[in-house]
């Protein structure tokens, strides 16, 4: 007959489990400390953030080229700056995610660069009569609200997912800006300036309405999400009271 090894006393088994649990916790704490150190060591001014800074600088330069007395050369430069604004808007986020270069500075710079660059473009349009004050107001109010609601949510540890209406708005705004800039270049070269002006006005008006509708949809979705979150918290409190 084989003799079974005597089992460890219950107290010793519990002590061993506690030691193993403490070891796991210490290992997890070490990983968390290491990750935090990596985040602190990560440079804030990296390539994506430099692209965002370039987008901010493109805003005033666009106003200067589009509104200034530079003829068709100014309109051509404005079109190139509009293309640069859209390109950097796409590239900075992709590079930051693929290369793990997301920083707190980047979370602030990206929406700020979007607001400054888009507002600068539509300010230039308003200066030459292509846009009205109410159009600019709708665009700036919506973009500013959404940008800083996202920053506020991230500081609270939550993420506001991008909505389909926001993606549609971004595509429509980008396409409209390029079309209007190309039309302004054609008008500066002498191709039917009156027609170009009227068509550009209606394009910017349509963009303003789409932007406002996107802002309303975002606000409604944000309100519903807050209501669902409050309901879930109430249910959790009720379950805790029942369990206690």
CATH number for position 61: 1.20.120.1760
Among the ranges given (7-21, 110-124, 189-203, 215-229), the one the predictor scored with the smallest mean pLDDT: 7-21
Does residue 14 lie in a domain region?
no
Does residue 242 lie in a domain region?
no
Does residue 105 lie in a domain region?
yes
Does residue 64 lie in a domain region?
yes
**pLDDT higher than 90, residue 49:** yes
The pLDDT of residue 64 is 97
83 is in which domain, residue-wise? 39-221
Query: Per this entry, what is the length of the chain?
Result: 244
Domains of the chain: total: 1
Higher pLDDT, 223 or 202: 202
The beta-carbon contacts of 126-133 under 8 Å, at least 24 apart in sequence, are 127/63, 127/66, 127/67, 128/66, 128/67, 128/184, 129/197, 129/201, 130/180, 130/184, 130/197, 130/200, 130/201, 130/204, 131/201, 131/204, 131/208, 132/205
Does residue 237 lie in a domain region?
no
**pLDDT higher than 50, residue 80:** yes
pLDDT bracket for residue 244 (50, 70, 90): low
Does residue 135 lie in a domain region?
yes
Higher pLDDT, 223 or 77: 77
Does residue 110 lie in a domain region?
yes
Does residue 17 lie in a domain region?
no
Give percent of the chain above pLDDT 90. Answer: 45
pTM: 0.72
């Amino acid at each position: 007959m084989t003799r079974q090894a005597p089992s460890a006393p219950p107290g010793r088994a519990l002590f061993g489990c506690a030691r193993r649990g403490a070891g796991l916790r210490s290992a997890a704490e070490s990983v968390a400390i290491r990750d935090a150190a990596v985040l602190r060591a990560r440079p804030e001014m990296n390539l994506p953030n430099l692209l965002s800074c370039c987008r901010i600088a493109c805003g005033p330069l666009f106003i200067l080229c589009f509104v200034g007395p530079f003829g068709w050369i100014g309109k051509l430069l404005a079109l190139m700056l509009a293309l640069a604004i859209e390109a950097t808007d796409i590239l900075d986020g992709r590079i930051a995610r693929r290369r793990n270069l997301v920083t707190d500075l980047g979370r602030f710079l990206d929406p700020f660069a979007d607001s400054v660059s888009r507002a600068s473009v539509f300010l230039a349009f308003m200066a030459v009569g292509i846009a009205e004050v109410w159009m600019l107001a709708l665009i700036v109010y919506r973009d500013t609200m959404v940008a800083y609601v996202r920053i506020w949510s991230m500081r609270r540890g939550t993420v506001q997912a991008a909505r389909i209406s926001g993606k549609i708005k971004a595509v429509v705004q980008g396409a409209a800006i390029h079309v209007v800039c190309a039309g302004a270049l054609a008008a500066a070269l002498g191709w039917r300036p009156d027609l170009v002006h009227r068509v550009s006005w209606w394009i910017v008006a349509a963009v303003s309405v789409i932007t406002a509708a996107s802002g309303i949809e975002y606000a409604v979705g944000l309100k519903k999400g807050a209501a669902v979150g409050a309901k879930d918290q109430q249910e959790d409190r009720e379950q805790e009271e029942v369990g206690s």
